[in-house]
Amino acid sequence: MQVGNLQGQLKPVLDGLARFRMLLFLVLVVGLYAFLGWRINTLENAQPSATAVAVSAPATPHINQDTINKIKSLQNNSVSVKTLFDQARRNPFQE
């Protein structure tokens, strides 16, 4: 089969499709929007697996006991630090 012969055979088909190019474009756009809507809905309703939940669970903070003892000794020895700790306890979100 020759390329020229193939082009000659496809020309009537392409001319027939050219009349419907706007309709084909609209069908393509609507199909794309429908696919995106379906995909968003699927991902929105997806539940995480048990391993994903276990991995993303926050770890409990751990403070070394020596650090706690040092903070308590500083608090007991310094009046300004004691005042600072009391203010932080009363309003922890104040800078």
58: in domain: no
pTM of the predicted protein model: 0.42
Domain interval for residue 82: 63-95
Residue 57 tokens, joined:
């669970």
Residue 74 tokens, joined:
């500083």
- pLDDT reported for residue 42: 94
Residues 31 and 67 in one domain: no
- CA-CA distance, 80 to 77, in Å (whole number)? 9
57: in domain: no
In this model, does residue 69 exceed pLDDT 80? Answer: yes
Any residues with CB less than 8 A from the CB of 48 and at least 6 apart, and which?
Answer: 56
- pLDDT reported for residue 95: 64
Any residues with CB less than 8 A from the CB of 85 and at least 6 apart, and which?
Answer: 75
